[in-house]
Amino acid sequence: MSGAVGVGAGIAFGTAGPGASAGVKAPHVLLTEQASRRILVLDPARAPWDPVAEPGVVRWAFSPLGDGRYRDLEPEVSWVYPSEAKVRLHRGRTFLLTTASFGFVGVVEWPGGRRYWGTAVSPGDDSFNPHSAEILPDGNVAVACSTGARVRLYAASLGTRATRFAEAELKGAHGLHWDWENRLLWALGDDELVAFAVAGGAARPRLVRRFADPLPVATPGRSAGGHDLFPVAGLPGRLWVSTSASVHQYATRGRTFAQDFAGAAEISRKGVKCVGDDPRTGRVVTTVPEPGLGETWWTTTVSAHRPEGAYKLVGGGIYKARWWLPR
């Protein structure tokens, strides 16, 4: 399956998902599905998900393999282990932001799959390991490269194949989020959460480190292992932050980490690869690796919280899961 496929209509909400109360409408679920090298949007009302036996559970899918619009990014070698999937609204259009560990970075218009912008960072190896991306109001795109220990800001507003970039060092760069209120780019590394300001014009941007806060650590002297950074949809001014050992919320105004959120006892645990909430229902989704799969970081399960439940993908190799919530 190549390019973008699926159903454009009716993607926003399904019926109650596993563990939810009857009548509750849940958003569709967005996955980085590494076993099949696809981004999937799945119907929460039809779990367990078995795309082979029941193709209709897939409401939309994306892969650059075999798609001529992405040929120059060498997806046969760069699109290995898709590691990020976010849905964003930008200037009235809906985009998927996606990265893959072997170099692929793309901003893909939904539902047709048209390329807004893309690049391949050292395609074919994981020496940079693009792990997350974010689109800024001017149309430029930030990329967190975990192995490369840096955050890059590409002048993507210059065109679909723009290659100019600014960069800043950040050990273990894993997550990115643009803060509209404070006009800051938040970046999550191994040991700190950093706020960058963006200087210069759209054509020649610069990243300026404003301040940083150390991540909570479970064992003094050990790295926190920052992993996922995502806005708390139901509480503006807070960010979800997952580390190797736990999950926190960070208040951007007070610059403090807290575990005072509902469901913390179930949500906060070791190895959480992604975390996000639905503001309508309050439900939270997370993923944690499970043993016995093709890679040690894969899972077939998307955990849902408040109330507790789970979605299962037959034959899956899931890395991250997010609610389909364009914002």
Ordered per-residue pLDDT tens for the chain, 327 residues:
457 765 433 444 444 566 665 456 899 999 999 999 999 999 999 989 999 999 999 999 999 999 999 999 999 999 999 999 999 999 999 999 999 999 999 999 999 999 999 999 999 999 999 999 999 999 999 999 999 999 999 999 999 999 999 999 999 999 999 999 999 999 999 999 999 999 999 999 999 999 999 999 988 888 999 999 999 998 999 999 999 999 999 999 999 999 999 999 999 999 999 999 999 999 999 999 999 999 999 999 999 999 999 999 999 999 999 999 998
Nearest to 278 by CA among 9, 44, 110: 44
* Amino acid sitting at position 83: S
Q: Which residue do the tokens 């575990």 mark?
A: 259
Q: What pLDDT, in 10s, does the model give residues 216-242? A: 998 888 899 999 999 999 899 999 999
Tokens representing residue 122 in the block: 């050292």
From the centroid of its chain, how far is CA 115? Answer: 18
CATH second-level architecture of 3-323? 6 Propeller (2.120)
Q: What pLDDT, in 10s, does the model give residues 166-178? A: 999 999 999 999 9
Tokens representing residue 93 in the block: 């259009």
Residues in the chain: 327
Angle at alpha carbon of residue 260, lines to 258 and 266, rounded to 5°: 105
Q: In sequence order, which ranges of 71-227 are alpha helices (DSSP H)?
A: 75-78
Query: What was the pLDDT predicted at 13?
Result: 42
Per-domain boundaries in the chain: 3-323
Instruction: Tell me the C-alpha distance between 266 and 247, whole Å.
Output: 10
Residue 267's H or E segment, with its range, is helix 264-267
The pTM of this model reads 0.94
From the centroid of its chain, how far is CA 69? Answer: 22
